Structure 1
Amino acid sequence: MPPKKEVRWKLTVDEYVIRNSPESWTSQLPASSETSPAVCIPPPPPQPNQDLPLPRAGALEFHRSLMPAQALQLDFSFPSDAFRRNPQLTPTLLNEPACTPPQSVVQLRISAGLYVAEFDVEHTPRGRAVTVGDILTGIQAHVRQYDCGRAPPEAAPYMHRRIATVNGYCPTRDRDGRKEAATIAAERQGGVRVADHLLGHTLFAGLSPQLGQRENYWQVELVIPERYA
């Protein structure tokens, strides 16, 4: 697959993630067998990005936590156990509708680095409104999938960086060397993931509507976090 770039950001990486240490923060998500890195104080929310399109008046509106101006800084390439430990995301927040009016199915599009894909997100049981938690866990699960094919050479450095930095940026005094080594070993198993094809674009920057598309078709905006910069 030839490299694909979509330049849509005036906001620089340094401006967006200068205080982002670490970037893997969510909340009470489903349990996972992957080993989790140490917990650190979550970063403050990013500043608004005026360049991203927002829903027009009277149209479908995203939940505030999914909008570019207020999107929670979440690195989707971290393991699920680390991903679900964000104290900002309470069960109440995760269970709120992802948009107004509510939607029973949402189609998301990811286009970053070498990767382009579309996938649906539904609530379980089906028929109920898609929630904030459904959106965030759906993206994270998709990005963490193993690559079934042969990864291009461009993805290799990002796989190595993902593995090497899986323990985050927690203070040294809070670290357990043996536990960190075990976490790295667990992250190394399985090889390349979809995240590596994104070439470092794994930090959530909100959702944006797509002109000419139906209201429940959304682009996942991603930028490069500090761990890949």
Structure 2
Amino acid sequence: RLGANTQLTRRGKCKNIYAAAGDLPRPAAPLSVRRWVNIEQQAQYKFLLQLDGHSCSWRLQFLLATNSAVIKQSSYYWEYWYSLLQPYQHFWPFWEKSPYDILPILENVTQPSMERTMRRIGARGSALAHRYLNPHARQCYWRALLELYSNRLQQPPSLAAWPRAQPVATAPREGWHGPKSARGRPRIDWEGLHGKLRAWRRSDRESLRRVVLRVEAELAEAQLSGERLQSDVELRSPDIRASQQ
């Protein structure tokens, strides 16, 4: 039943993360199989499991926003906003050694004494998603990223060179919420800004300018010190970790 590469410790516990279910210290509780349900229906559950696919899972942002406690697979796949996430604050990690880590974790987090802790984790994860992952916040990120990128071009981009360029159409609602959902309303009340829009845009541009200057200063400091910048994805890559050992 064990794979050819399986090694056993002196205590007889399996070290291979792909060991058979019979090698677990306790039998897994039978779990029922459900048909696919949408995100709003998943919000009815206390705990939601986040697993990687072929890369980082796009649905993590939606799971966090449900106010349920997210149990997230440890992974070196990385999205730009993952640096905001703190384990045991916004989610509960598992699969740090083996996929079977989920069994003792479920036994732990479902204890009555953990009820308040898991509710707080769900609330903090939801607050983070709604504050930093709404369409306007994402737009701020992309604007800063594109401006930083354009600063490195020999010839700054200009729409004059692209006479057929069209402005991107804005979505009338936000995220995955239905058109009749109150949570699907735009985050910014553009009609309420009537008469104040010019001042708002000036403040918005100034905020973006400060972000770009701060990042440029950090990049310049790293270059002067000779530090090699690596992305979080690179630092978590098994190939990178193996080469550093």
TM range (shorter): under 0.3
Which has the higher relative contact order, 1 or 2, with Cα contacts under 8 A spaced 6 or more apart?
A: 1
- TM-score with structure 2 length normalisation? 0.22
- TM-score with structure 1 length normalisation? 0.23
Structure number with higher strand proportion: 1
Rg bigger for which structure? 2
Structure number with higher helix proportion: 2
